[in-house]
Structure 1
Amino acid sequence: MMDPNIGWFQPEHRGPALEMYRNAFNECKLNADNSLSNSNNNAANNNNSTTGGKDIANAGNQIQMQPDYIPLDENTFQNAFNFLNNHTNIHLNCNNQNQMQFGKRKRDNRASTYNLDANHHLINEYKGIPWRKKGFIYSPGVIGLHEEIQHFYEYMSPTQEEQQMRSFVVKRIEKVIKNIWPYAKVEIFGSFRTGLYLPTSDIDLMVMGKWDKLPLFTLEKALLEANIADTDTIKVLDKASVPIVKLIDKDTEIRVDISFNTNNGVKSAKLIKEFKKKYPNLPKLVLVLKQFLLQRDLNEVFTGGISSYSLILMTVSFLQLHPRQDAVLPSANLGVLLIEFFELYGCCFNYYKVGIRVKGEGSYVPKSDIERQMQDSGNRPSILCIEDPLNPSNDIGRSSYGVMNVKKAFEYAFLVLNQACGPTASAVDQSESILGRIIKVTDEVISYRRWIKEHFPLKDASLLSTTNAGSDNSLDLYDDENQPNSSASSVTSSENVSRPLKRYACK
């Protein structure tokens, strides 16, 4: 069956055969669950008998014994799930279990499409593809995919109301900080500074000042007194490698992370802006890829994914080392680039032996070389090894322990898109959304954007340019290269997906 974490059945899959298969699968699953439950009950009854433990041993033969370990490989999460499913004495109905997991994800992530096949109500309004323009005739294959990526970028790019709302949040928090420490400096970094944020993305703030001890709990108390957040939506992570205050703004439901005296985030944001100018297609690819990971809960390290910064540097490296020179031109086919990105990082890239370097013109580096330059720091290259362009001894991907989950999702996306745009495209209904085969925007996100437009109408344009006055983030958040390009016609024509990327990064 389809992995509910990654995908859903496509239109060409649906029909009597699929329904028959699903019914047979569910019936077999139910029978297996009932058999396991009966075996567990028998074991419990035998445990209460007076046979000197012989029946317990027999029951143990009926039930597979607990192994001494859970194998650790790229399918660790699935192995752990199977282990619990096969060996626990607590039986949960499969459907109830899916609903429990789904509920938890939805509380944390309104963009989640987990188990979409069983939850079509999430995308009732626009079938999950609100970027598709009425009356626009989309071309077949990669040309149509290119057009959809252009329209997705236009639709999902931040509106002025959304930016004003975020600026409003920053101003309120900045006021609280200034009331405590008048000489402290508040800086924006991350996606809000670079302009590469989705409607539900968080805001990253950094406070510069002089303290003997980081005043995390002092700030927490002040934010609560100012009614910025509720007690159950603010948390101090003082033991983290980078201590932060995490909160959810009470008025807007925007998540905010506040750190102290960490210049790297601001420098990284400046570097990303430079990459945006150098590679005009970077923002469009990144916005699609961020949505792809977000809806699968793979957009953060602690949920088994990768960070936005890692994703951006992977995209930069992909463009830097692309064998076709026209890949970096504004006229490049975004559909082809997206499929090639998924092919590279989902099928071809050797995560175990190769590291990524974006400094200069970019290169692939043997991990043995990176390990030597990390000796002084005592670190070793991680599975996803990305050399920090600002500090070569630092590995940006070092905490991405679930990167193989991301690789699996990328491979799935490549197969699904290649089926619709490659040699088998004739078997796919080209009138259906091609980008919608891997990306959906939930009704909850659409409603949230609508709510923002209603409650934060554009009144004071000065808010957009005065946040952090004097720093370089004042409205070059919306610099020229980040403005949506409505032109979908100037595109490299290619009906077949070219596949030159297997020549490198595979050894």
Structure 2
Amino acid sequence: MSFVGNNRQTPWLDGLQGRVYDSTYARLEDEIWAYVDYMAPTPEEEVVVTRVGEHVRKALRPAFQHHSCSIHTSGSTSTGLRLPLSDIDLVIATAEDVSATDGLLLLAELVRGKVWSERVVEVLDARVPIIKISTKREFGSLKFDVGINNTSGLKNNQWVKNRLRAMPALKPLVLIIRGALSQRGLNDASQHSLSSFAIVCMCVFFIQKNPYGIPKSHLANPRGSKSLFAVLHGFLEYYSRGIPFEDSYISLMRGKLVKKPKKGKSRLIHRRCQKNLVIQCPTDFARNVTASLSLENFEKIRLVFGEALEKIRNAGITDRNILGSLVSVDQRFVEHRRRVKELVQTGQLSENLRLEEMEEAGPEEEEWSWDMPSMTRVQATSPRSYGARSSYIPPHLRADAGPSYSPPHLRADGARSFYSPPLLRADGVGSSHYAPHIRTGLSQYQSQPTPQNWNIGWDPYVWRANQIHWTGMMERGRDI
């Protein structure tokens, strides 16, 4: 495994060991594709995202049980451009108008009590308010960004998917640029850097404009033509020193740069964006997708691109880690991928999710049955959850029963009895009398319920009783 300093690693180069190249660009081409293939989600990562994501959605729905709503996956997870440690965007779309702030606060309270929830942060003062949810290690260490009715992202998703189909070089280019900026903390709009959608727009515009004349046949088949190195090289050069961003803005709709209007003459360009990078949103022409980008951070981004460009240009034919100056991963990434693989392959994720479902269903109680002749209480072999009917089977109904006790109301001699076990009553309602097979903890003599013994052994979701009167045997029970 190759290292690039500061504990950064390039594990995708392991598969290129021993290869001989006749040019620097041939080596760079293979490194680019090795990185792209390595960053693709593994089968285990897809399982974790899908299954844990289902539990997160399930936890969110009760907040809007009185509204017609749907929950959508948005952003890079939806378009297939997600990096393994990237956030997963969820959008809750409601048919009625709801307060995003109130709704998000309610969601935060619901999620904080979940078994899988590690951390919840409200980001309510952003242009698009969200809550950030982190899951525990045993649930994949995933991060979710949840918003309410910010459906513009869903329109952007479809636009990105259309561009991906039309531009085969787009996906690998986006993954490299996102990886480079993410590891440097420059892929987060909330921190005044570039959003993932803004990065996609930059890549689309470069391929669309094609300022350095890369043959269209190469752009249509970058892997087969081995021309992705030229696409990356051109992108780094254009955005580090080629684009006249101070006096022009990017119009994806027109496919060209447009002269910026004078100050105060455009809704698209805010005064503080006048000398900064501006990209007109392809799905909302009045919006600047880089509006949150600070000029300071854009200069940092241009510096990253410029330094990577110089290292590529200065690389020698014997260099074996050309792309490492731009993208790499840390030990945390390697450990995360290993842990996710282990969670899925050992079945631990399934077990954790099963236990979480059991806890959500309610607490469990020990179930007790009775040995009728001696009235000795014995523990059942398996627990059950509150809300379920008693699993006790009277001896006279058991398949293996020999001579056994038969309650009077079932006796062949028709002897009159008021006692009817609740689980046998036609109306299905718990009787107010003493039913020993579903009641525990009382002596065999008369017992009046008190605050101390009121709930002993009772299933509060099924049975109800006001008081107990038992004469010592079940032969002649009576309601009171």
Per the normalisation by structure 2, the TM-score is 0.64
In the alignment, which residue of structure 2 is the partner of 1:325?
215
- 1:466 aligns with none
**Greater length-normalized contact order (CA 8 Å, ≥ 6 residues apart):** 1
Q: 1:309 aligns with which of 188, 192, 197?
A: 197
The 8 Å contact of residues 356 and 363 in structure 1, kept in 2 or not, is answered as yes
Equivalent of residue 239 in structure 1, options 118, 125, 129? 125
The equivalent residue for 1:103 is: none
Mapped pair 1:259 → 2:259: no
Is the contact made by 1:355 and 1:370 (CA closer than 8 Å) also made in structure 2?
no
- 1:347 corresponds in structure 2 to 241
Cα drift, residue 385 of structure 1: 0.3
1:354-373 aligned within 5 A: 354-359=248-253, 362-368=255-261, 372-373=265-266
Q: Aligned with 1:395: secondary structure?
A: coil
Matched, 1:383 2:276: yes
Say whether the 8 Å CA contact 1:374–1:393 is kept in structure 2: yes
Matched residue, 2:447: none
With over 3 angstroms needed to count, the CA separation of the structure-2 counterparts of 1:138 and 1:388, relative to structure 1, is farther
Which residue type is aligned with residue 191 of structure 1? S
Distance in 1 between residues matched to 2:148 and 2:330, nearest whole Å = 35
1:413 to 308, 316, 335: 308
Q: Say if 1:276 and 1:370 are closer, same or farther in 2 by CA, change over 3 A.
A: farther
The question of whether the paired residues in 1 share the 8 Å contact of 2:263 and 2:271 is answered with: no
Kindly state the Cα deviation for residue 374 of structure 1 after the two structures are TM-superposed.
2.0
Q: 1:259 to 1:370 in 2, by over 3 A?
A: farther
| Structure of higher CA gyration radius | 2
Work out whether residues 160 and 458 of structure 1, in 8 Å CA contact, stay in contact via their aligned partners in 2.
Answer: no
1:337 aligns with: 231
Residue 187 of structure 1 aligns to a residue whose secondary structure is strand
| Matched residue type, 2:284 | N
- Match in the other structure for 1:227: 115
Letter in 2 for 1:177: L
- C-alpha displacement of 1:300: 1.4
Deviations 1:80-139 (A, max 9, x none): xxxxxxxxxxxxxxxxxxxxxxxxxxxxxxxxx9xx74x3xx24xxx4343441555152
Q: Is the contact made by 2:219 and 2:227 (CA closer than 8 Å) also made in structure 1?
A: no
- Check conservation: 2:41, 2:83, Cα contact below 8 A: yes
C-alpha deviation, 1:235, in angstroms: 1.2
Separation of aligned partners in 1, 2:249 and 2:262: 9
1:128 aligns with 2:24: no
Query: Where does the alignment leave 5 or more consecutive residues of structure 1 unmatched?
Result: 1-10, 12-112, 421-427, 460-507
Does residue 404 of structure 1 match 2:291?
no
User: Does the CA-based 8 Å contact 1:156-1:198 persist in structure 2?
Assistant: yes
The alpha-carbon deviation at position 339 of structure 1 amounts to 1.1
AA aligned to 2:86 is: S
Residue 396 of structure 1 aligns to a residue in which SS?
Answer: coil
Q: Which amino acid aligns with 2:299?
A: M
The answer as to whether partners of 1:205 and 1:259 remain within 8 angstroms in 2 is: yes
Letter in structure 2 aligned against 1:350: P
One-letter amino acid of the counterpart of residue 202, structure 1: D
Contact 2:278-2:288 at 8 Å conserved across structures:
yes
Distance 1:316 1:390 in 2: 14
Cα deviation digits, residues 254-280 of structure 1 (max 9, x gap): 111100001111111111111111110
Kindly provide the amino acid, as one letter, of the partner of residue 26 in structure 2.
I
Q: Which one-letter code corresponds to 2:163 in the other structure?
A: F
TM-score w.r.t. length of structure 1: 0.61
- RMSD of aligned residue pairs (Cα, Å): 2.6
Residue 216 of structure 1 and its aligned partner are, at CA, apart by: 1.2
8 Å Cα contact 1:374/1:380 also seen in 2: no
CA distance in 2, matches of 1:394, 1:188: 22
2:42 to 150, 156, 159: 159
The structure richer in helix per residue is: 1
Q: Distance in 2 between matches of 1:314 and 1:416?
A: 22
Are residues 376 and 252 of structure 1, via their aligned partners in 2, closer, same or farther at CA, if it must alter by over 3 Å? closer
Identify if the C-alpha distance between structure 1 residues 138 and 270 changes in structure 2 by more than 3 Å, giving closer, same or farther. farther
Distance 1:175 1:350, change over 3 A: same
Structure 1 residues 286-301: aligned runs within 5 Å: 286-301=174-189
Name structure 2 gaps, 5 residues minimum.
348-480
* Contact 1:355–1:364, Cα closer than 8 Å, also in 2: yes
Tell me whether 1:453 sits opposite 2:341 in the alignment.
yes
What's the counterpart of residue 73 of structure 2?
188
* Residue 149 (str. 1) matches residue 43 (str. 2): no
